[in-house]
């Protein structure tokens, strides 16, 4: 058996704690699969005296994780602390500069610094791995890098945030509005005290930027992702979606388009028979479309101790086996610049919900605004009550240029009989 691989682990929380447990529980299995033992040689976290209930034995404790990252006794560094900058970045830089491979679960750091870190890893002849950063236990990074390497990929899309999917599923199942379900999710620990990273689509965008780079050979460009979150989705929209044969999902979508690589995150109306329509609760699902494989679907738990640690340890196994291939499939210096995709040029159908005063002429004024912007209506639902009441008017448009759609909605929003800003949800067919 070859020499042991000595691991330095920074962070002993949900992810780091799970890594310690798997390394201990599957010591023999992992040694057999790697052809060498995996040894936890050093750990670091914020608070040394915290009771962790982990099988740490006499593992060397480092007060300073950056020093641990450069310590000659460590072969590979695992960063499980988090944050796009700060301590996580210092650990990553120290490890790679010292010629040690780096495994991280940190999507924020990879979304913001992935290209730079990949270049640094390649310059120093080591590996950068981040399977846990996207979709937790679902091995989508490996699938894109390895399993689908024979394909020219066309599109990758999916549900990348379990909290958002849990909220949408709960809204649908319990017929309640967003704020109520979010508050409950927070009290149950399914959503953070500050949920904005999840519900505003930022977490999904971090993961999407990583997938876009892997799939299409472009630099990781988080700033180039169009991002819309979930806050404006109501139970009423979910009910109308059902009636129209759709479900609402927050998707990350990246595809190769005529104007470059599209990267967008927003709520979508997906057809009821789409592979992502029935993904429930906190699960993640990703669909990759390649020219040879056609559609491949990957689904599983997107977060949590076991699933995330499973992905981290799989990365360590690859490194122990000697896989030093480029983090983003191709050498980082060959990644192409990624330009933000102009959303105004998107073409697609849309769902629109208006809150209007039920009075004569309102439908005609709304229809005129759409017609003048070259948007045609496929169907309208308006359940009138008594004249003068507030009612919802729901429309499905035919495929239209998004810039025209926005222009029409701005005009509609200014109509006197429209009493709330219009809600638009893109209808996405795959
Ligand atoms: N949780 C998930 O399901 C999940 C899924 C995918 C990816 N991730 C990513 O994994 C990373 C870690 O997440 P987590 O959920 O495991 O976080 P966590 O439970 O909050 O654990 C963070 C760990 O980092 C340590 N730490 C914090 N600041 C530190 C510092 N300045 N110096 C040294 N150690 C420090 C903490 O030490 P103490 O224990 O002493 O406080 C703790 O052990 C993040 O990048 C996250 O985005 C998490």
Structure tokens, 329: 């499939």
The mean pLDDT of 32-61, rounded to a whole number, is 97
Q: Could you tell me if 265 and 120 are in contact, meaning their C-beta atoms sit under 8 angstroms apart?
A: no
Least trusted range by pLDDT, from 182-186, 204-208, 325-329, 332-336: 182-186
Over residues 234-259, the pLDDT tens digits come to 999 999 999 999 999 999 999 998 88
Over residues 410-420, the pLDDT tens digits come to 999 999 999 99
How would you write the chain as a 3-class SS string? Answer: CCCCEEEEEECCCHHHHHHHHHHHHCHHHHHHHHCCCEEEEEEECCCCCCCCCCCCCCCEECCCHHHHHHCCCCCEEEECCCCCCHHHHHHHHHHHHCCCEEEECCHHHHHHHHHHHHHHHHHCCCCEECHHHCCCCCCHHHHHHHHCCCCCEEEEEEECCHHHHHHHHHHHHHCCCHHHHHHHHHHCCCCCCCCHHHHCCHHHHHHHHHHHHHHHCECCCHHHCEECCCCCCCHHHHHHHHHHCEEEEEEEEEEEECCEEEEEEEEEEEECCCCCCCCCCCEEEEEEEECCCEEEEEEEECCCHHHHHHHHHHHHHHHHCCCCCCCCCCCHHHCECCCCCCHHHCEEEEEEEEEEECCCCHHHHHHHHHHHCCCCEEEEEECCCCCCCEEEEEEEECCEEHHHHHHHHHHHHCCCCECCCCEEEEEECC
Q: Could you tell me if 104 and 92 are in contact, meaning their C-beta atoms sit under 8 angstroms apart?
A: yes
304 Cβ inside 6 Å of ligand 1: yes
Catalytic residue among 100, 107, 207, 249: 207
Ligand 1 centre to CA of 202 (Å) is 18
65 Cβ inside 6 Å of ligand 1: yes
pLDDT given at position 2 = 83
pLDDT given at position 264 = 97
- Mean pLDDT of all residues in the chain? 96
| CA–CA dist 413, 61 (Å, integer) | 60
Q: pLDDT at residue 365 above 90?
A: yes
Ligand 1 centre to CA of 84 (Å) is 12
308 Cβ inside 6 Å of ligand 1: yes
| 119 included as an active-site residue | no
Q: pLDDT at residue 421 above 90?
A: yes
The mean pLDDT of 98-124, rounded to a whole number, is 98
Exposure of 7 by Cβ count < 10 A (0-12 exposed, 13-18 middle, 19+ buried)? buried
45 Cβ inside 6 Å of ligand 1: yes
Q: Could you tell me if 148 and 296 are in contact, meaning their C-beta atoms sit under 8 angstroms apart?
A: yes
| CA–CA dist 310, 220 (Å, integer) | 24
Residue nearest to atom 15 of ligand 1 (CA): 14
* Nearest in space to 413 (alpha carbons), one of 358, 353, 364, 371: 353
50 Cβ inside 6 Å of ligand 1: yes
204 Cβ inside 6 Å of ligand 1: no
pLDDT given at position 191 = 87
| CA–CA dist 257, 259 (Å, integer) | 5
Enumerate the β-bridge partners of residue 102: 77, 128
Ligand 1 centre to CA of 201 (Å) is 20
| CA–CA dist 357, 419 (Å, integer) | 7
Residue nearest to atom 47 of ligand 1 (CA): 106
- The phi-psi region of residue 388 (left if phi > 0; otherwise alpha if psi is between -120 and 50; otherwise beta) is left
Over residues 301-324, the pLDDT tens digits come to 999 999 999 999 999 999 999 999
pLDDT given at position 193 = 85
The mean pLDDT of 7-26, rounded to a whole number, is 98
How many other CB atoms sit within 10 Å of the CB of residue 88? Answer: 23
41 Cβ inside 6 Å of ligand 1: no
Ligand 1 pocket: which of 18, 79, 81 to mutate (most atoms within 8 A of CB): 81
Buried b / exposed e over 34-45, threshold 16 CB at 10 Å, is: bebbbbbbbbbb
* Confidence tier at 385 by pLDDT (50, 70, 90): confident
* Nearest in space to 148 (alpha carbons), one of 50, 289, 354, 336: 289
Structure tokens, 382: 């308006």
Q: pLDDT at residue 221 above 70?
A: yes
Buried b / exposed e over 164-190, threshold 16 CB at 10 Å, is: bbbbbbbbbeeeeebeebbeebeeeeb
Exposure of 29 by Cβ count < 10 A (0-12 exposed, 13-18 middle, 19+ buried)? exposed
How many other CB atoms sit within 10 Å of the CB of residue 97? Answer: 15
């Amino acid at each position: 058996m070859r020499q042991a691989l000595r691991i330095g682990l920074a962070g002993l929380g949900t992810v780091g704690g799970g890594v310690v447990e798997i390394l201990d529980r599957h010591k023999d299995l992992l040694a057999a699969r790697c052809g060498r033992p995996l040894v936890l040689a050093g750990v670091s976290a914020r608070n040394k005296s915290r009771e962790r209930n982990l099988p740490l034995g006499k593992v060397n404790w480092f007060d300073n994780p950056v020093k641990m990252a450069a310590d000659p006794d460590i072969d590979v560094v695992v960063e499980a602390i988090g944050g796009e900058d700060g301590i996580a970045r210092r650990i990553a830089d120290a490890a790679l500069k010292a010629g040690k491979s780096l495994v991280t679960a940190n999507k924020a750091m990879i979304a913001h610094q992935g290209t730079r870190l990949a270049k640094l890893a390649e310059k120093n002849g080591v590996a950068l791995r981040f399977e846990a950063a996207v979709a937790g236990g679902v091995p989508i990074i490996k699938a894109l890098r390895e399993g689908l390497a024979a394909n020219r990929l066309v599109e990758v899309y999916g549900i990348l945030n379990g909290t958002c999917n849990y909220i949408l599923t709960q809204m649908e199942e319990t017929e309640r509005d967003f704020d109520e379900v979010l508050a409950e999710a927070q009290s149950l620990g399914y959503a953070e005290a500050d949920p904005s990273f999840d519900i505003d689509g930022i977490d999904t965008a971090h993961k999407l930027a990583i997938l876009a780079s892997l799939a299409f050979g472009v630099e990781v460009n988080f700033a180039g992702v169009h991002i819309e979150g979930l806050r404006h989705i109501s139970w009423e929209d979910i009910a109308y979606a059902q009636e129209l044969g759709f479900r609402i999902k927050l998707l990350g979508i990246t595809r190769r388009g005529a104007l470059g690589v599209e990267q967008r995150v927003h709520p979508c109306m997906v057809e009821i028979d789409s592979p992502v329509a029935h993904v429930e609760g906190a699960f993640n699902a990703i669909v990759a479309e390649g020219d040879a494989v056609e559609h491949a679907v990957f689904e599983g738990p997107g977060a949590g101790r076991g699933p995330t640690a499973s992905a981290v340890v799989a990365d360590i196994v690859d490194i122990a086996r000697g896989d030093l291939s480029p983090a983003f499939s191709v050498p980082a210096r060959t990644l192409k610049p990624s330009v933000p995709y102009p959303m105004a040029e998107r073409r697609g159908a849309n769902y629109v919900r208006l809150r209007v005063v039920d009075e004569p002429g309102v439908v005609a004024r709304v229809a005129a605004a759409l017609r003048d912007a070259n948007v045609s209506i496929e169907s309208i639902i308006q359940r009138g009550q008594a004249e003068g009441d507030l009612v919802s008017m729901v429309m499905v448009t035919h495929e239209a240029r998004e810039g025209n759609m926005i222009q029409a909605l701005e005009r509609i929003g200014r109509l006197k009989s429209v009493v709330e800003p219009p809600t638009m949800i893109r209808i996405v067919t795959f």
